[in-house]
Amino acid sequence: MANEENESISIIKTPEEMLKASEEFYQYMSLRRSCRQFSMDPIPDDVIENVIRTAGTAPSGANKQPWLFCVVKNRELKHKIRKAAEAEEKKNYEERFNANLKHDLEPLKTDPVKKFLDIAPILIIVFKEKYTKIGDKIYPNYYVGESASIAVGFLMTALHNAGLATLCYTPSPMDFLNDLLDRPKSESPIAILPVGYPGKDYSCPKLPRKPLEEIIKYYV
Ligand SMILES: Cc1cc2nc3c(=O)[nH]c(=O)nc-3n(C[C@H](O)[C@H](O)[C@H](O)COP(=O)(O)O)c2cc1C
């Protein structure tokens, strides 16, 4: 029961309404695709703030909310990020990626060139906060990777819902982002999300999704 310290959870749907809502949401989410080519058209700041507010509603270990969303619009900074990411990607594709990974990446037709880091009007760079340091004192966070990754899922869902395209881009290693964005050692970048409208005529590779029977197992 709600009182001054508690809040109630409002479940407002009948089973019929749930079925309709879940079907419609599935249909809409099934249209989400990773976008690797963007137009330069700007995105309203209010939209970006709303999707980041949504990401901030994610659950987190002991409610530590161990995440930070850096919104990069500055062209020179985007370009520096591209150059640093491409330097790592060149080594990845030429030296670090093994045959299995190269084989698995083949259908995606990706390469070390990451033009979208220059072109997308906004890059959202997500950091996980491993711990919080106040003065000399260190306060731990819990399930940091899990919590921040769930927040990225919320963020990508909110972007799709807003009608924007994105990509969960993870150059590896990506600690160059700490230097470029002046973030402390307590934080680690987990993804770069270029955000915008898909480029004119952009089409992404057709990829199969596992059918329900392969991803569900009942215990009744
Ligand atoms: C954790 C994670 C890391 C990813 N890293 C990259 C990446 O570095 N580069 C890239 O082009 N796509 C990356 N992707 C996107 C996947 O390739 C993509 O989600 C997958 O191929 C399925 O395609 P879809 O998102 O269009 O359904 C990543 C996705 C996830 C979830």
pLDDT tens, residue by residue, 60-109: 999 999 999 999 999 999 999 999 999 999 999 999 999 999 999 999 99
Q: To test ligand 1's pocket by mutation, which of 126, 167, 204 has the most ligand atoms within 8 angstroms of CB?
A: 167
Q: What DSSP designation does 196 have?
A: E
pLDDT at 93: 95
Q: Whose CA is nearest to atom 21 of ligand 1?
A: 108
pLDDT, average across residues 110-134: 97
pLDDT at 117: 98
User: Ligand 1 within 6 A of 169 CB?
Assistant: yes
**CA 108 / ligand 1 centre spacing (Å):** 9
Q: What is the full DSSP assignment across 133-163? A: EETTEEEE-BSHHHHHHHHHHHHHHHHHHHT
Q: Note the Cα 9 to chain centre separation in Å.
A: 27
pLDDT at 3: 74
User: Ligand 1 within 6 A of 101 CB?
Assistant: no
Q: What DSSP designation does 94 have?
A: I
Residue 39, C-beta contacts closer than 8 angstroms, at least 6 positions apart: 119, 196, 197, 198, 199, 200
pLDDT, average across residues 57-61: 98
Q: What is the mean pLDDT of the chain?
A: 96
pLDDT, average across residues 30-36: 98
d(CA 63, CA 179): 28
d(CA 14, CA 11): 9
pLDDT tens, residue by residue, 133-180: 888 999 999 999 999 999 999 999 999 999 999 999 999 999 999 999
User: Ligand 1 within 6 A of 168 CB?
Assistant: yes
Q: Which atom of ligand 1 is nearest to the CA of 108?
A: 21
Q: Whose CA is nearest to atom 1 of ligand 1?
A: 168
Q: Whose CA is nearest to atom 15 of ligand 1?
A: 168
pLDDT at 1: 60
User: Ligand 1 within 6 A of 108 CB?
Assistant: yes
- Residue 71's SS3 state is strand
d(CA 3, CA 68): 31
Q: Is the pLDDT of residue 10 over 90?
A: no
Q: Whose CA is nearest to atom 30 of ligand 1?
A: 168
Q: Is the pLDDT of residue 211 over 70?
A: yes
Confidence of residue 2 (pLDDT cuts 50, 70, 90): low
pLDDT at 18: 96
User: Ligand 1 within 6 A of 110 CB?
Assistant: yes
Q: Whose CA is nearest to atom 12 of ligand 1?
A: 169
